[in-house]
Amino acid sequence: MHFYDGSYPASASATLFPPDASPSAYRDVQQALGLQRVVVVQPTTYGLDNSCQLDAMLKFGHDARGVMVVDAGTTAAELQRLDGRGVVGARFHMLPGGAVPWEDLEAVAATIAELGWHIQLQCNGRELPARRAQLTTLPTALVIDHVGRFMPPVGAADPAFQVLCELMEGGSTWVKLSAPYESSLESITNEPIDDHHADVLPLVDHLVHRYPERLLWATNWPHPGQDPSPTVDSIARQRDRWLPTSALRQQVLVDNPDEVYFG
């Protein structure tokens, strides 16, 4: 999830300028969804300036962790400062608006590995076969966003999706179940939930069946760029459709985040 506040300057590379989304508003979302902890992710709007997210994290105390944006020029002192503020990962957004290029990935990964951080990656999942060698040699854990974000969607037998599965089988890659609207060809609808983004659902079902111990879940609140946005009720129903048993919910919503973010 991300916070937005118009009092913080946007990056020159930004392509999204969502309305304000505050900690108090997210508290309401947490209450509605039964959530206690939060992982705050630096959005592309603010580039390399993580101030908005770090300030918002203070409102959540020890229940917050952060995934921020750093590059090969970020100093060791700044990384230590971020680490002390609860940051546990570095985000790479390899789509329009991203602030850090593929070429920085290895250098950043080598630096943050010393802190025990992970790399969070968002790209078009169709690029994964071309990036397989680069990703399998990272010295950090890897979290891949939005069910792989295959644009346009692919089937579970597609070679690109099979690379995602191979990465997960390697033991250091995690995939977020989140934001199917980022790759789905369907329009945003809140009803009926069983048909919601049906072109992404087979991938979710495959991952949940095969790799529950390598999955995370996220709201992607406040759904930047989506109009209309999913309602909180629809997010809850979709979460329960994806994770239909208490054992799965315990694994994906509690145990796996413990290992990746709160360990």
Cα 105 from Cα 8, distance rounded (Å): 26
Q: Model confidence over 109-145: pLDDT tens digits?
A: 999 999 999 999 999 999 999 999 999 999 999 999 9
Q: What percent of the chain has pLDDT over 70?
A: 96
| Chain-centroid distance, C-alpha 65 | 13
- What is the band of 59 on the pLDDT scale with cuts at 50, 70, 90? very high
Q: How many CB atoms lie within 10 A of CB 16?
A: 14
What integer pLDDT is reported at residue 153 of this predicted model? 94
Q: How many CB atoms lie within 10 A of CB 72?
A: 14
Element (H, E) at 111: helix 105-113
- What is the band of 188 on the pLDDT scale with cuts at 50, 70, 90? low
Q: How many CB atoms lie within 10 A of CB 158?
A: 16
pLDDT, the chain, mean: 96
- What is the band of 225 on the pLDDT scale with cuts at 50, 70, 90? very high
- What is the band of 105 on the pLDDT scale with cuts at 50, 70, 90? very high
What are the φ and ψ backbone dihedral angles of 182, each rounded to 5 degrees? -70, -20
Cα dihedral value 165, 176, 172, 77, nearest 10: 150
**Domain positions in the chain:** 23-262
- Does the pLDDT of residue 15 top 80, yes or no? yes
Look at the domain 23-262 and name its fold.
TIM Barrel (3.20.20)
Cα 185 from Cα 149, distance rounded (Å): 12
Q: Model confidence over 62-96: pLDDT tens digits?
A: 999 999 999 999 999 999 999 999 999 999 999 99
- What is the band of 227 on the pLDDT scale with cuts at 50, 70, 90? confident
Q: Which two tokens stand for residue 206?
A: 């495959």
- What is the band of 186 on the pLDDT scale with cuts at 50, 70, 90? confident
Q: How many CB atoms lie within 10 A of CB 12?
A: 7
